[in-house]
């Protein structure tokens, strides 16, 4: 079988060198998602991945806390597959959504749905149940920064629930 990483070595030799230098570590990842897959594979990559601003939460931690993640040296931060995030258009949107999600109402709602004994307490199914518009209304900030919610590519008139990728 031809190694699908040959293209990386040809088109991006420094990346290929890096991957090969750390291949022992990368090839020993424990998650079953990597079994019988091409070397160095990654998942969950799309246009949203390269957004300069994101709101993120770890799926593994027992502490429910969202963070606004901004660029580093002008480049977007890449998160691994243990995190859930939504892409944002700018810092203002990321901060606003982070404040909504870290509100006591939101945290209480998430706590009511999470099984903290699970290996990954925070799941995509839990996060998809959060309705940012209703949360903003409940917190009395729907008019203050509603433009953030209207402009978000994750929220449309027909789908008012937050979409985590």
For the chain, which residues make up each domain, given as ranges?
1-41, 43-165
Other Cβ atoms less than 10 A from the Cβ of 150: the count is: 11
Residue-level pLDDT at 163? 42
Average pLDDT over residues 50-71: 94
pLDDT at 157 over 60: no
pLDDT, position 2: 53
3-state secondary structure 52-103: CEEEEEECCCCCCCCEEECCECCECCCCCCCEEEEEECCHHHHHHHHHHHCC
Task: Report the mean per-residue pLDDT for the chain.
Answer: 83
- The pLDDT value recorded for residue 164 is 46
What pLDDT band is residue 30 in, cutting at 50, 70 and 90?
A: confident
Query: What would the mean pLDDT of 24-37 be, rounded to a whole number?
Result: 80
Asked if residue 165 lies in contact with residue 85, where contact means CB atoms within 8 angstroms, the answer is yes
pLDDT at 150: 57
Residues 6+ apart with CB under 8 A from 97: 55, 66, 68, 86, 88, 132, 148, 152
Above 50 in pLDDT, residue 133?
yes
Q: Among residues of the chain, what percentage have pLDDT more than 90?
A: 44
pLDDT, one tens digit per residue, over 5-15 is 778 888 889 98
């Amino acid at each position: 079988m031809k190694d699908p990483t040959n293209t990386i070595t040809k088109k991006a030799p420094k990346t290929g060198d890096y991957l090969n230098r750390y291949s022992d570590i990368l090839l020993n990842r424990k998650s079953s998602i990597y079994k019988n897959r091409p070397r160095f594979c990654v998942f969950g990559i799309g246009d949203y991945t390269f957004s300069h601003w994101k709101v993120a939460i770890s799926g593994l931690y027992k502490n429910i806390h969202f963070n606004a993640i901004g660029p580093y040296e002008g480049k977007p931060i890449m998160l691994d597959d243990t995190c859930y995030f939504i892409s944002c258009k700018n810092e203002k949107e990321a901060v606003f959504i982070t404040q909504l999600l870290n509100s006591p109402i939101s945290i209480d709602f998430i706590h009511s749905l999470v099984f903290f004994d699970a290996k990954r307490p925070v799941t995509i199914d839990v996060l998809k149940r959060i309705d940012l518009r209703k949360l903003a209304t409940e917190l009395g900030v729907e008019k203050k920064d509603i433009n953030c919610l209207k402009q978000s590519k994750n929220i449309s008139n027909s789908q008012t629930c937050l979409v985590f990728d």
